[in-house]
Amino acid sequence: MTELSLNVLDVAENSVKAEATLIEISVCSDTAKDLMTIVIKDNGKGMDEEQLARVCDPFFTTRTTRKVGLGVSFFKLAAESTGGEFEITSKKGVGTTVTATFVISSIDRMPLGDMTSTMHSLITLNKDTDFVYSYKVNERGFVLDTRELREILEGVPFDVPDVSDYIKEYLSENKKETDGDIIL
Amino acid sequence: MKSLEELKAIREKMQGQVGMRHEDETTTRVVVGMATCGIASGARPVLNAFVEGVAAKGINDKVVVTQTGCIGLCQYEPIVEVMEPGKEKVTYIKMTPEKAAEVIDKHLVRGQVVAEYTFK
Domain-located, residue B80: yes
CB contact under 8 A, A9 and B13: no
Q: Smallest Cβ distance to B2: which of A63, A148, A170?
A: A170
Residue A127, C-beta contacts closer than 8 angstroms, at least 6 positions apart: A157, A158, A159
Average pLDDT of the residues in B85-110: 97
pLDDT of B119 above 90: yes
Q: For residue B31, what are the β-bridge partners?
A: B66, B81
Domain-located, residue B99: yes
CB contact under 8 A, B35 and A10: yes
Give the helix/strand (H/E) hosting A142: strand A140-145
Is B48 part of the contact surface with chain A (CB cutoff 8 Å)?
A: yes
pLDDT for position B87: 93
Give the domain range for residue B35.
19-117
Measure the CA–CA gap between A119 and B11, rounded to whole angstroms.
21
Per residue in A98-157, pLDDT tens? 999 999 999 999 999 999 999 999 999 998 999 999 999 999 999 999 999 999 999 888
Average pLDDT of the residues in A39-57: 92
Q: Which residues of B touch A152 (CB under 8 A)?
A: 4, 7-8, 11
Per residue in A59-106, pLDDT tens? 877 777 777 778 999 999 999 999 999 999 999 999 999 999 999 999
Question: B18 falls in which pLDDT band (50, 70, 90)?
Answer: low
Average pLDDT of the residues in B92-117: 97
Is A94 part of the contact surface with chain B (CB cutoff 8 Å)?
A: no
pLDDT for position A22: 98
Q: What are phi and psi of A67, to 5 degrees?
A: -100, 0
Measure the CA–CA gap between B51 and A110, rounded to whole angstroms.
27
pLDDT of B13 above 90: no
pLDDT of B19 above 60: no
Measure the CA–CA gap between B61 and A11, rounded to whole angstroms.
31
pLDDT for position B20: 58
Q: Which residues of B touch A148 (CB under 8 A)?
A: 4
Q: Whole-prediction pTM value?
A: 0.93
Measure the CA–CA gap between A71 and B70, rounded to whole angstroms.
12
CB contact under 8 A, A149 and B71: no
Quickly list DSSP for B37-49. HHHHTTHHHHHHH
Name the 3-class secondary structure at B78. coil
Domain-located, residue B82: yes
| Domain segments of chain A as ranges | 4-179
Give the helix/strand (H/E) hosting A76: helix A71-80
The least confident of A8-17, A53-62, A98-107, B58-67 is A53-62
Count the Cβ atoms, other than its own, within 10 Å of residue A95.
22
Is B36 part of the contact surface with chain A (CB cutoff 8 Å)?
A: yes
CA-based nearest residue to A164, from B109, B86, B21: B21
Domain-located, residue B1: no
- Contact predicate A111/A99, CB 8 Å: no
Average pLDDT of the residues in B64-86: 94
Q: Say what percent of chain A tops pLDDT 90.
A: 83
Measure the CA–CA gap between B3 and A174, rounded to whole angstroms.
9
C-alpha distance from A74 to closest chain B C-alpha (Å): 9
- Contact predicate A76/A40, CB 8 Å: no
Q: If you average pLDDT over each of A52-56, A134-138, B116-120, which comes out highest?
A: A134-138
| CATH, residue B71 | 3.40.30.10
- Which class in CATH covers the domain with range A4-179? alpha beta
Q: For residue A142, what are the β-bridge partners?
A: A135
List, in sequence order, the alpha helices (H) in A89-160: 115-125, 146-153
Interface test with A, best of B6, B11, B36 (most A CBs within 10 A): B36
Q: Which residues of A touch B60 (CB under 8 A)?
A: 161
CA-based nearest residue to A16, from B35, B62, B101: B35
Domain-located, residue B11: no
Residue A174, C-beta contacts closer than 8 angstroms, at least 6 positions apart: A135, A142, A144, B1, B2
Give the nearest chain B residue to A151 (CA atoms).
Answer: B8
Domain-located, residue B8: no
Q: What are phi and psi of A34, to 5 degrees?
A: 60, 35
Per residue in A107-120, pLDDT tens? 999 999 999 999 99
Q: What's the complex ipTM?
A: 0.89
